[in-house]
């Protein structure tokens, strides 16, 4: 029963990440670890396929303009180096809702960083940071030589970020979706919240809801390719962003360039097995976080014991954030899960848990802010 309950909680957290959106939830593990060198070999007789050339754009039509200040504000914490410069452009594509085929348009935000002549389009996981923000963070981790060869072009997928975000879930329902106490067996409140979220989005989005899928997102990338002036699309897909690239390869095989698929979602039809794997991945990530913490001698100590003590503390006396949001065990664990998925922020996460144990929930609540808070400039990820 406990194992099944864990699967349900994982499923609901995944549902919360994309409530009301046809794009569907991501099942990407919080951390993908290197399994070591592969031992397999290419089957005999398999023909070699030449790599598409890394060609430069020809007659691009996108009009880039400075968006450095706005981008840094959207990135927030942790900041990216001041040496990076960001420009943005809008890509217009047909919304292509089933009830109104090609009658409406969606305006996608694209961000470019790097001086390299070869564009590399970046598509992020639907429940992660918008593609533009993820591309900016990714650029901060790459060597300068890479950004002299390539320029990263992050794209906010339709219905996310600054590309017509599907802001249809009311604040109280967003909170209820992630407020499931992991120690409680009754999930009815979360199920009710998920049902209400779906109903509200169906009402507000109407026919456009079914246009927020990977198949149409692949069509958006074709518009991006054309407006970049490229013969082939070179791209990186993270999480279920890799599914969008797979859809692109099916729809536009002649335009496929070089593609990197990072954290491909499990295509298996057995939902229970997939969610078990996601839960196991989260557990492995927590173990790796503990090892990292021990190697740095951080004040957190044993993460599992610290988190158990924190949830007991919040359960006995649940506080509220500065803006009045109840911060119970469920929200706290959601914040921790969010922090675990950001490897570079593990030291910050450890300090945040220590602070929360001491009564200061602000730093830990910041990890849940992208879901709890919703504004035009910073749309919620639910």
91-96's contacts with Cβ under 8 Å and 24+ in sequence apart are: 91/62, 91/155, 91/220, 91/223, 91/224, 91/227, 92/223, 93/158, 93/219, 93/220, 93/223, 94/219, 95/158, 95/208, 95/211, 95/216, 96/211, 96/216, 96/219
pLDDT attached to residue 140: 95
- Average pLDDT of the chain is 84
pLDDT attached to residue 347: 95
pLDDT attached to residue 33: 39
Q: pLDDT for 244-258, tens place per residue?
A: 999 999 999 999 999
pLDDT attached to residue 174: 86
Give the residue-averaged pLDDT of 195-207.
85
In angstroms, the CA 277 to CA 241 distance is 19
How many residues in the chain?
382
pLDDT attached to residue 13: 41
Give whichever of 16-30, 245-259, 261-275 has the largest mean pLDDT: 245-259
Give the residue-averaged pLDDT of 76-91.
93
pLDDT attached to residue 261: 93
pLDDT attached to residue 96: 75
Q: pLDDT for 314-335, tens place per residue?
A: 999 999 998 888 999 999 999 9
For tokens 């219905």, what's the residue? Answer: 159
Is the pLDDT reported for residue 371 higher than 60? yes
pLDDT attached to residue 255: 96
- For residue 118, the SS3 value is strand
pLDDT attached to residue 358: 96
Any idea what DSSP says for residue 208?
A: G
Q: pLDDT for 51-79, tens place per residue?
A: 888 999 999 999 999 999 999 999 987 88
Tell me the pTM.
Answer: 0.80
CB-based contacts of 346, cutoff 8 Å, min separation 6: 289, 292, 293, 339, 340
pLDDT attached to residue 20: 35
Q: pLDDT for 150-185, tens place per residue?
A: 999 999 999 999 998 888 888 888 888 888 887 876
| Cis upstream peptide for 78 (omega within 30°) | yes
CA–CA distance from 280 to each of 25, 41, 284, 344 (Å)?
Answer: 17, 29, 6, 21
Tokens encoding 267: 């295509």
pLDDT attached to residue 43: 61
The pLDDT confidence band at residue 229, using thresholds 50, 70 and 90, is very high
The pLDDT confidence band at residue 190, using thresholds 50, 70 and 90, is confident
The pLDDT confidence band at residue 11, using thresholds 50, 70 and 90, is very low
pLDDT attached to residue 42: 56
pLDDT attached to residue 181: 84
The pLDDT confidence band at residue 101, using thresholds 50, 70 and 90, is low
What DSSP assignment string belongs to 297-308? T-TT-SHHHHHH
pLDDT attached to residue 48: 77
Domain spans of the chain? 65-165+212-262, 168-202, 268-375
Provide the 10 A C-beta neighbour count for residue 349: 24
Domain with residues 65-165+212-262, CATH architecture:
3-Layer(aba) Sandwich (3.40)
Closest alpha carbon to 283 in 336, 360, 225, 215: 336
* CA end-to-end span of the chain: 28
Is the pLDDT reported for residue 264 higher than 60? yes
What DSSP assignment string belongs to 210-262? GG-SHHHHHHHHHHHHHHHT-SSEEEEEETTHHHHHHHHHHH-GGGEEEEEEE
Residue 154 β-bridge partners:
111, 122
Tokens encoding 154: 């992050």
Is the pLDDT reported for residue 45 higher than 70? no
């Amino acid at each position: 029963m406990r194992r099944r309950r864990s699967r349900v909680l994982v499923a609901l957290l995944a549902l919360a990440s994309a409530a009301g959106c046809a794009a569907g939830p991501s099942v990407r593990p919080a951390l993908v670890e290197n399994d070591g060198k592969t031992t397999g070999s290419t089957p005999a007789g398999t023909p070699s396929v030449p790599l598409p050339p890394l060609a430069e754009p020809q007659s691009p039509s996108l009009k880039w303009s400075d968006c450095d200040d706005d981008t840094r504000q959207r990135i927030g914490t942790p900041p990216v180096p001041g040496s990076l410069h960001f420009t943005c452009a809008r890509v217009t594509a047909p919304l292509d809702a089933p009830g109104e085929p090609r009658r409406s348009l969606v305006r996608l935000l694209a961000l470019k960083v790097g001086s390299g002549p070869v564009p590399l389009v970046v598509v992020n996981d639907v429940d992660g940071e918008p593609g533009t923000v993820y591309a900016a963070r990714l650029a901060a981790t790459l060597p300068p030589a890479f950004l002299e060869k390539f320029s990263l072009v992050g794209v906010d997928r339709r219905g996310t970020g600054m590309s017509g975000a599907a802001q249809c879930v009311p604040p109280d329902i967003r909170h209820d979706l992630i407020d499931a106490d992991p120690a409680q067996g009754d999930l009815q409140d979360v199920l009710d919240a998920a049902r209400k979220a779906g109903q509200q989005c169906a009402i507000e989005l109407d026919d456009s809801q079914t246009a927020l899928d990977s198949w149409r997102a692949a069509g958006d990338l074709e518009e991006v390719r054309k407006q970049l002036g490229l013969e082939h699309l070179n791209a990186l897909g993270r999480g279920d962003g890799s599914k969008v690239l797979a859809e692109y390869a099916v729809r536009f095989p002649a335009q496929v360039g070089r593609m990197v698929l990072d954290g491909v979602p499990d295509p298996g039809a057995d939902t229970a097995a997939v969610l078990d794997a996601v839960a196991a991945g989260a557990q492995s990530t927590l173990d790796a976080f503990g090892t990292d913490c021990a190697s740095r001698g951080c004040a957190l100590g044993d993460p599992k014991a610290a988190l158990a003590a924190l949830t007991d503390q919040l359960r006995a006396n649940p506080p509220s954030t500065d803006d009045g949001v109840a911060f119970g065990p469920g929200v706290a664990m959601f914040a921790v899960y969010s922090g675990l998925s950001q490897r570079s922020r593990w030291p910050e996460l450890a300090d945040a848990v220590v602070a929360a144990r001491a009564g200061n929930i602000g730093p830990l609540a910041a990890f849940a802010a992208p879901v709890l808070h919703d504004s035009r400039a910073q749309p919620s990820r639910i």
